[in-house]
Copies of this chain bind each other. A is one copy, B any other.
Amino acid sequence: MPEPRGYHPFFEASNIDSLESERCLYLQFVFKAMRSFIIVGHKATTAPNFSLEDIPGTSGRLDILCRAVTAAFVLSHGIRKDVCVYLVLLGGEIPKTIQLRGETLRHLNPDERTTAALLKKALAVPATAEWAMSTSGIFVRTGGLAEVLADLKDAKLIYLREDGADIRSLDIADLDVSSLSGEMAFILGDHTGMTPDEESLIEQAGAKVVSLGPTSLHADHCVVLINWLLDTNVFMPE
Contact = CB atoms under 8 A, between A and B. Distances in A.
Interface stretch (A3-11, A99-107, A136-144, A150-158): A3-11
Interface string A106-121: 0001111110000000
A179 interface: no
Nearest to A162: B76
Interface string A158-188: 0000000110111100000000000000000
B64 A13 contact: no
Contact of A4 (B75, B166, B213): B166
A84 interface: no
A165 to B, nearest CB: 7
B111 A56 contact: yes
Given A224-B224, A225-B224, A1 B76 contact: no
A128 interface: no
B234 A6 contact: yes
A217 interface: yes
A216 interface: yes
A231 B170 CA distance: 19
Contacts of A165: 1
Nearest to A71: B221
A111 B112 contact: yes
Contact of A221 (B52, B111, B224): B224
Given A53-B53, A76-B191, A109-B56, A7 B168 contact: yes
A114 B167 CA distance: 32
Given A7-B166, A7-B168, 19 more contacts: A1-B165, A6-B7, A11-B166, A11-B214, A12-B214, A14-B214, A52-B53, A55-B113, A56-B109, A56-B110, A63-B110, A71-B221, A75-B216, A75-B217, A75-B218, A113-B113, A212-B228, A214-B231, A225-B225
Contacts of A18: none
Contacts of A112: 111-113
